[in-house]
Amino acid sequence: MDGGSEADVSSALLGEHFETHLFVSAINSGKKIEGYKKGLLEVHNLRRRHRELVKEMLRRGYNHRSPLDDFQWDHAGWVNRKKSLEELARRCKACRKLQKEKRKKWKQR
Ligand SMILES: [Zn+2]
């Protein structure tokens, strides 16, 4: 968030909260969510993120009546992400190089 108005922050908050619910239902319906947000989605952090968002919503006086569904973890994309990255690297030289560079960056952090 870029320090927008209070209303902007609220709508971003509600939007992100809605997104977490969308993700979970997408996961549970077996949809492929790999590559969503360029693989930046951290499925294992969804629940924690949702909890934070709800806390902030309640603080701002919003209601929260929709508990987050249970995940079907075996449907979650990130379980297969490693595999699909390996597959990509096997078939595509440029991808292989890209992944190598990314890994380097991660290590530096
Ligand atoms: Zn919720």
Higher pLDDT: 56 or 106? It is 56
**pLDDT tens sequence across 13-65:** 899 898 888 888 877 777 666 555 444 456 667 788 899 999 999 999 999 98
Tokens for 42, please give them: 């951290």
Determine the 3-state secondary structure of 89 from DSSP: helix
How far apart CA 6 and CA 107 sit, in angstroms, is 37
- Distance in Å, CA 84 to ligand 1 centroid: 30
Domain extents in the chain: 6-78
- Distance in Å, CA 57 to ligand 1 centroid: 10
- Distance in Å, CA 60 to ligand 1 centroid: 14
Q: What is the pLDDT of residue 77?
A: 47
- Distance in Å, CA 73 to ligand 1 centroid: 18
Lowest model confidence (mean pLDDT) among 2-11, 77-86, 99-108: 77-86
Instruction: With 0.85 as the threshold, say if the pTM is over it.
Output: no
Residue 109: pLDDT band (50, 70, 90) is low
Q: What is the pLDDT of residue 79?
A: 45
